[in-house]
Chains A and B, each alone.
Chain A
Amino acid sequence: MAKKNQTPPKTFEEALNELEQILSEIEGGEVGLEESLLKYERGNFLIQHCRGVLNSAEKQIEVLSKSADGGVQSVPLNEPE
């Protein structure tokens, strides 16, 4: 199955919503066979994408503060541990 040309939704929530939509469409039998296969492919991609998100690890916690120009600046948190 081709994974190319698949773009992940911006957020995890959107991905889950899309996934839920796909599931209800496939389970409801509303879509044609080819389309349901395409949606299956998309659904698999979304699941893989979401698993990827869950398995990803963020950097350190950052500390935000008001910068000199009135914006927000961030620096990594130095923890005592």
Chain B
Amino acid sequence: MSGAGFFDFQKQMTSRSTKPAVGPTPAGEVEALSVTQLTAKIDRAIKAGFPGSVLVKGEVSNYKAHAASGHHYFTLKDAGAAIQCVMWRSDAARLKFQPSDGMELLATGTVSVYPQQGKYQLYVTMLHPLGQGALELAFQQLKAKLEAEGLFDAASKKMLPRFPRRIVLLTSSATAALQDMLKVLRRYSFLKLSLFHVPVQGDGSAAKIAAAINLLNAQSTTPDGIDVILLARGGGSLEDLWEFNEEIVARAIVASQIPIVTGIGHEVDTSIADLAADYHAHTPTEAAQIIVQHWKTAGEMLDISALRLRRGVRTRVATAQQRLAGVQRHEMFRRPLDRINQLRQLLDDRHRALALAVGQQLRIDQRRTTELGERLDQQRPELLVGRFRQKLNELEKRLAERARRGVRTLHDRLQRAIIRLGERHPKHQIRLVSQRLTASEKELNRAVISDLQKRQMRLSGFESQLRALGPENVLSRGYSITTMKKTGAVVRSHQQVKEGDRLVTQFAEGSAESVVADSRQLPLFE
């Protein structure tokens, strides 16, 4: 059907509305259309009116991506009208950004009818954001998404090593960025520098960068581990740097165990990779400088450390000397042996106590062992038999002994009885009497003799006594005995005599006769 047909249709609608009271004619000069036929006519009319694609601008609303089919459905509207839009999955996949409600978009597509629901729709093949570039919008959207996921969290960023030695430069070997970094890093001859070449521009670069990061991480388990990765690229347009804004790069950076420093573009550029990196410098040169910042002062730091070390030890030694001096003044050092002797004594005491305790226990144990051994020994069968035998012998012996003793006793008693009987015999009596007689005889003799002797002894005593008392003895001492011649009486007093009496004076030897001349009594001793 041609464009004219479309307007014919409008004409028909108008003509119908002008005659509402007229009922349908049974014969019908106008043939009736089915709904399908009508809709097909409409579709043909629209396609004829909008051949090829149209460019429409409007605000997005009710944007939905169908989960199962992957097709996107939304409405484009402005103040006066709205149109349903469909974007097939294959077209939607090419979108760099995510359309959302309220967004002003420029849609490219074709208008067509959706017969089942009797509506016309715009089948969108491409969307562009209005006001800002699609890339910029894509950047903002990815940033917001990853930020919400926490990929840029400061807390999850890895610490940069202060002194990295093994550094991998992840960039293109052809770029100025590499030379910029080498210029800085070459000053440190001890750094182990490696270049991992990746394309930094053009489709597919992002995937290669991500793959390189993953590969380096897989390799970093080797002893010669990589300390840090420098991901760098020189300046360029947003399109040039776009590969660093891809999600796959951001995710690889966040997943990397090796810290990553980025230096991408110029001062003003900040890529998604920068946001995801553990540290982001604004240029490749700055990235290299950040990496070596501590190395720059390492030598100086060592000098200071050496100084501190020497001074510290000197101070420590001085302190020790001071303390030593203090301690030396202490009594313990003036009399050092006191403490040692004390300890020695304590040790001896303990030793003794220990030995005692151990010895005691040992002795107890030994004794018990011996005891038990002996007791056990005594229970030996042969010993028991021996003991019984011995006991038996003993009993035998005792029995024999007792029997012998019994016989002997009887014998003894018999003997004694015999003796006693013998003693009763008359001849014994006679002998006894005669014996006694003899004894008496002997005794008598002895008594007589003894009496005789006694008498003799007394006699000789008297004799000597008599001799002492006898005149001879007195005479010998000078005394004399005067007797009356006539009577022989001993003159004891002058009264006995008178003048003219004759006296005989006996001397110890011989005698003389004298006559009394005077009989006066004169005291002999005055």
Whether chains A and B associate is: yes
Nearest-neighbour CB distance to chain A for B472, whole angstroms, equals 135
Residue-by-residue, is A52-81 near B (CB-CB < 8 Å gives 1, otherwise 0)?
011111100111111000111010010000
Nearest-neighbour CB distance to chain A for B281, whole angstroms, equals 20
Nearest-neighbour CB distance to chain B for A75, whole angstroms, equals 10
Query: Interface size for chain A: under 10, 10 to 19, 20 to 34, or 35 or more residues?
Result: 35 or more
What chain A residues lie within 8 Å of B191 (beta carbons)?
Answer: 58
Q: Are A65 and B313 within 8 A (Cβ)?
A: no
Q: Are A57 and B312 within 8 A (Cβ)?
A: no
A11 within 8 A of B: yes
Q: Are A19 and B305 within 8 A (Cβ)?
A: yes
Residue-by-residue, is A12-41 near B (CB-CB < 8 Å gives 1, otherwise 0)?
110010011011001101010100110010
B361 within 8 A of A: no
What chain B residues lie within 8 Å of A70 (beta carbons)?
Answer: 215
Nearest-neighbour CB distance to chain A for B483, whole angstroms, equals 147
Q: A50-B302, A64-B168 are in contact. Are A23 and B190 (CB under 8 A)?
A: no
Q: A47-B302, A58-B189, A63-B194 are in contact. Are A23 and B312 (CB under 8 A)?
A: yes
Distance of A77 Cα from B301 Cα, bound (Å): 33
Distance of A66 Cα from B209 Cα, bound (Å): 12
What chain B residues lie within 8 Å of A29 (beta carbons)?
Answer: 315-316, 319
What chain B residues lie within 8 Å of A12 (beta carbons)?
Answer: 163, 165, 298
Contact residue among A20, A33, A54 (Cβ-Cβ distance under 8 Å from B316): A33
Q: Are A61 and B195 within 8 A (Cβ)?
A: yes
What chain B residues lie within 8 Å of A50 (beta carbons)?
Answer: 298, 302
Nearest-neighbour CB distance to chain A for B185, whole angstroms, equals 9
Q: Are A62 and B195 within 8 A (Cβ)?
A: yes
Q: Are B320 and A72 within 8 A (Cβ)?
A: no
Nearest-neighbour CB distance to chain A for B449, whole angstroms, equals 124
Q: Are A11 and B165 within 8 A (Cβ)?
A: yes
Q: Are A33 and B320 within 8 A (Cβ)?
A: yes
What chain B residues lie within 8 Å of A20 (beta carbons)?
Answer: 305
Residue-by-residue, is B86-104 near A (CB-CB < 8 Å gives 1, otherwise 0)?
0000000000000000000
B515 within 8 A of A: no
What chain A residues lie within 8 Å of B195 (beta carbons)?
Answer: 61-64, 77
Task: Give the dominant DSSP class at B's interface.
Answer: helix
How many contacts between A and B, using CB within 8 angstroms?
103
B308 within 8 A of A: yes
B110 within 8 A of A: no
Distance of A43 Cα from B306 Cα, bound (Å): 8
Distance of A5 Cα from B299 Cα, bound (Å): 25
Nearest-neighbour CB distance to chain B for A17, whole angstroms, equals 9
Distance of A61 Cα from B182 Cα, bound (Å): 10
B161 within 8 A of A: yes
What chain A residues lie within 8 Å of B316 (beta carbons)?
Answer: 26, 29, 31, 33, 36
Q: Are A23 and B305 within 8 A (Cβ)?
A: yes
Distance of A29 Cα from B314 Cα, bound (Å): 11
Residue-by-residue, is B445-472 near A (CB-CB < 8 Å gives 1, otherwise 0)?
0000000000000000000000000000
Task: Output the residue of B212, B215, B301, B313 with the most chain A CB within 10 A.
Answer: B313
Nearest-neighbour CB distance to chain B for A69, whole angstroms, equals 12
Nearest-neighbour CB distance to chain A for B376, whole angstroms, equals 62
Q: Are A61 and B298 within 8 A (Cβ)?
A: no
What chain B residues lie within 8 Å of A23 (beta carbons)?
Answer: 305, 308-309, 312
Q: Are A54 and B194 within 8 A (Cβ)?
A: no
Q: A61-B182, A61-B195 are in contact. Are A36 and B309 (CB under 8 A)?
A: no
Distance of A61 Cα from B366 Cα, bound (Å): 85
Q: Are B165 and A65 within 8 A (Cβ)?
A: no
B157 within 8 A of A: no
B63 within 8 A of A: no
Task: Output the residue of B162, B163, B219 with the most chain A CB within 10 A.
Answer: B163
Q: A61-B182, A62-B194 are in contact. Are A44 and B309 (CB under 8 A)?
A: yes
Query: What 5 pairs between A and B have smallest CB-CB spacing?
Result: A26-B312, A57-B189, A12-B163, A64-B196, A40-B313
**A–B Cβ pairs within 8 angstroms, 17 of them:** A16-B163, A19-B305, A20-B305, A26-B309, A26-B312, A31-B316, A57-B190, A63-B173, A63-B194, A63-B195, A64-B197, A64-B216, A66-B212, A70-B215, A72-B196, A72-B216, A77-B195
B interface residue numbers (CB < 8 A to A)? 161-163, 165, 168, 173, 182, 189-197, 211-212, 215-216, 219, 295, 298-299, 301-302, 305-306, 308-309, 312-313, 315-317, 319-320
